[in-house]
Amino acid sequence: MEQELPQTVSGHQNDAVEDDDDAPTLSLEALEALKEFLTEQSHSLNDTAGETAPALISEDWRMSQFWYDHHTAQTLAQEVLTLRKSDSTRVACVACPSLYAYLKNIDSDVSVQLLEYDTRFEQYGSDFTFYDYNQPEDLPFELKHGFDIVVADPPYLSQECLEKVSKTVSFLARPENPYLLLLTGEVQKERAAELMGLHPCGFRPRHSSKLGNEFRLFTSYDPETRLGGWDN
């Protein structure tokens, strides 16, 4: 499918040019917008070259939904699959539906549970569990301590939200040496360490929509040469 230029750049695309001497010119602002648009398209094509990205449900910003860009989602999915020791390994994705989609796209047999507030994801059937972070442990009993890998992305950057999500992570994770991954803002670094004993990695998550806050990936285990290692 051909990409259309944003209207702020292309203006009225069907306007005829009657005289070459009177050819329309773009303002500096429009030129910058065009340059940014073409750069983003180039990066998108490079990121997805040779790979098929899964179809994603559209973001709902009212629920603080911002999907990872292709490189971030692919990197996280590959890390989770690297940590997966056997077919019986169970993965929980807490409020990170785009990661769920990428995991299933790479390996449809991976056992992964999506915990999410947005009921549009009920289309995933038994892989979906309704989750409200305000009720962090109001979850089916069969999920308790049932997951080897737990990836969480709190919807808000508040201390309260992280504290409640950390309770959910504790509820889900197996008692013995679970792998925990947390994606949240740089501002939560000290709280992530205090609440869950997590360390920041060198890898920097990015989103399809440009966000003003600096995001980090925190883990409970040393990824060594992966994910840029621990960044202490």
How does 35-48 read in b/e, with b if 16+ C-beta sit within 10 Å?
A: eebeeeeeeeeeee
43-93 confidence digits (pLDDT tens): 443 444 446 777 776 666 666 667 889 999 999 999 999 999 999 999 999
Largest CA distance in the chain: 75
| pLDDT average, residue stretch 110-133 | 96
Q: Which amino acid is at 130?
A: F
Q: Which amino acid is at 95?
A: A
160-193 confidence digits (pLDDT tens): 999 999 999 999 999 999 999 999 999 999 999 9
In CATH terms, the superfamily for domain 69-228 is Vaccinia Virus protein VP39 (3.40.50.150)
d(CA 224, CA 201): 10
| pLDDT average, residue stretch 195-223 | 91
- As given in the structure block, the two tokens for residue 72 are 């971030």
Cβ-proximal residues to 183 (8 Å cutoff; 6+ apart), any chain: 76, 96, 151, 152, 153, 205, 215, 216, 217, 218
pLDDT greater than 60 at residue 225: yes
pLDDT greater than 60 at residue 39: no
pLDDT at residue number 47: 43
Nearest to 161 by CA among 153, 151, 173: 153
Helix, strand, coil share (%) of the chain residues, nearest 5: 40, 15, 45
pLDDT greater than 80 at residue 95: yes
> Which one is predicted more confidently, 227 or 56?
227
pLDDT greater than 90 at residue 106: yes
pLDDT at residue number 160: 97
pLDDT at residue number 63: 62
Residue ranges of E strands in 44-201: 90-94, 111-116, 128-130, 149-152, 179-185, 199-200
d(CA 39, CA 203): 22
Specify the 3-state DSSP secondary structure of 156: coil
